Amino acid sequence: MDKFTTLTGIAAPMPLINVDTDMIIPKQFLKTIKRSGLGVNLFDEMRFDDNGDEIPDFVLNKPAYRDAQILVAGDNFGCGSSREHAPWALLDFGIRCVIAPSFADIFYNNCFKNGILPIVLPQEQVDMLMDDAERGANAVVTVDLESQTITGPDGGSISFEVDAFRKHCLMNGLDDIGLTMEKAPSIKAFEAEAAQARPWV
């Protein structure tokens, strides 16, 4: 998993509430178990019409937001099913941070496990960042995980809270496998001792 320390990028505004995981990545794209390749179908039913042509009004189809790395969203983002493909699709598209007033719990946890930083802020602060994000190509926002701050295009700063353990994992690029590998010496020592004590196993 890639480390998350400081992210500076375009913030795309998506002021929709209750964006569920089927909207993020529709069910017909869940056949893969690979984490890559899903970005092209992110928000598929909102990005493309029935002929597969882009819908120009959708935010991520607008030239200013095609390379967005931050998403400023509405309340209850990521609700619906628990599919891990949703953060996979966001990450594969290039989104590394989602800011919203609230998230569905499973989606929120899955973000941390896949290198995405979900930030919960009061509605009034989300509204401020939404206004910043409306600036198009000038909507450059910096998210500093170490200092737990978000800096807007005008230099204004907002602080956010994040669990210390999850912060450690993101800053060090540790998913569940990485966390286990940190304990590799202890695991090897345990296995060696067990093999000596119970050689018949």
Torsion on CA atoms 60, 74, 124, 140, rounded to nearest 10: -20
Task: Quote the strand ranges of the chain, DSSP E.
Answer: 6-14, 70-73, 97-100, 117-120, 140-144, 149-151, 157-159
**Residue from 141, 13, 21, 129 nearest 77 by CA:** 21
Count of Cβ atoms closer than 10 Å to residue 151 Cβ: 18
pLDDT at 76: 98
**HSE value, Cβ hemisphere, 13 Å, CA-based, for 64:** 14
pLDDT by position in tens, the chain (length 201): 899 999 999 999 999 999 999 999 999 998 877 778 999 999 999 999 999 999 999 999 999 999 999 999 999 999 998 889 999 999 999 999 999 999 999 999 999 999 999 999 999 999 999 999 999 888 999 999 999 999 999 999 999 999 999 999 999 999 777 766 767 787 877 887 878 888 887
**Residue from 98, 156, 101 nearest 127 by CA:** 101
Would the CA dihedral through 22, 27, 28, 34 be positive or negative? Answer: positive
Q: What is the DSSP secondary-structure string of 4-44?
A: -SEEEEEEEEE--SS-BHHHHS-GGGTT---SSS-GGGTTH
Contacts of 169 (CB under 8 A, 6+ apart): 112, 175, 178, 179
**Residue from 160, 178, 158, 181 nearest 168 by CA:** 178
- Please state the pTM of the whole predicted model: 0.89
Would the CA dihedral through 88, 92, 97, 101 be positive or negative? Answer: negative
- End-to-end CA distance of the chain: give it in Å, rounded: 35
